[in-house]
Amino acid sequence: MKYKNCLKNLTITIATGTLVTACSPKNNQAQVTSSFKMTGSSAAATVAKNERPQSIWGLLLNKAYALIPSSLQDSSGLPITLNQAWTVVKEIEFKSEESAGAEDSEVEVEFQGPYVVDLLSTTPMVLDTQQISEKAIKRIKMKLHKAESLPAGAPAGLINNSIFLSGVVGSNNFTFQLDDSTELQIAGPNSFQPSANSELLVEIQLANIFKQINMSTVTNNEVISSAHRHSGSNLCNGIDPSANDIYTCVRKGLEKHANFGQDNDGDDDLDSNDSKVE
């Protein structure tokens, strides 16, 4: 399916996955029921959101919706259209410390994965709801994973890659393939404590990533990958001034323009009404 514009908020589809408790709570710590969800946001956070339609999916399912499309641009102002946007993650863990340390040995809840994620899906699959410790959270760890097999509808280009994007920048077609399998971490100085029946949300702001990358030198039908990173200067100073290729800019942009928190108002968006780490 081709998108002429990218949706402001895009609910990520998770293909197969089960949330499991990785260890029992210590000292009989209180437990609360929490669900986990992820969204991809392709529009800048300053763009106003339109009212969503109401939908009830059932006791253990979250609500899902698509919003009015909005434009996507690179740092030079060129319009971008995404036709495909997929990623694969596994071993998702919640942490009580912003930085790695002793807390890494205390995994409260872990999503085993791998999860094949369609960032342009408007028909999401939602993960299960589980009991987690009523303990402050400051960080989430997600390991990028090279796809070994594909669910129905996933592009062949995702095989052996953890991220696959295809689209048009200006008038030039491009493909982006990232075969990184390192950890993606989202952390911040703020913490939040899960409440009963809470919804924990990861939000990846796609629009903000592309807005800080200069893709004006991308040529028609170019494939950007670990073997061809598209080198240049001043490609993404807002993400990482030391980055000298688009491949690195996108990878580092995933952490810079992602947020994690508790979606207090249940609108599938982390805003001023919600508790979040950043």
The mean pLDDT values, 10 residues at a time, for the chain of 278 residues are 38 36 51 70 39 30 33 91 86 76 54 77 57 80 91 94 94 96 86 82 81 97 97 96 97 87 79 83
Query: Distance between CA atoms of 168 and 3, rounded to whole angstroms?
Result: 10
Cα-based distances in Å from 75 to 151, 234, 237, 262: 33, 11, 10, 30
> Do the Cβ atoms of 118 and 152 come closer than 8 Å?
no
Q: How many domains are contained in the chain?
A: 1
Answer yes or no: is 41 within a domain: yes
Answer yes or no: is 220 within a domain: yes
DSSP three-state, residue 102: helix
Complete DSSP assignment for 32-50? EEEEEEEEEE-S-TTSPPP
Q: What pLDDT does residue 62 have?
A: 31
What is the token pair recorded at 256? Answer: 């810079």
> Do the Cβ atoms of 139 and 187 come closer than 8 Å?
yes
Domain range holding 107?
A: 6-276
Q: What pLDDT does residue 69 have?
A: 38
Q: What pLDDT does residue 172 have?
A: 98
Query: Distance between CA atoms of 92 and 17, rounded to whole angstroms?
Result: 11
Q: What pLDDT does residue 93 have?
A: 82
Instruction: List the one residue out of 6, 205, 258 whose CA is nearest residue 120.
Output: 6
DSSP H helices in the chain: 206-211, 246-256
Answer yes or no: is 187 within a domain: yes
Answer yes or no: is 1 within a domain: no
Q: What pLDDT does residue 168 have?
A: 95
Determine how many CB atoms are found less than 10 A away from the CB of residue 223: 14
Answer yes or no: is 21 within a domain: yes
CA of residue 170 relative to chain centroid, distance: 25
Query: Distance between CA atoms of 274 and 267, rounded to whole angstroms?
Result: 10
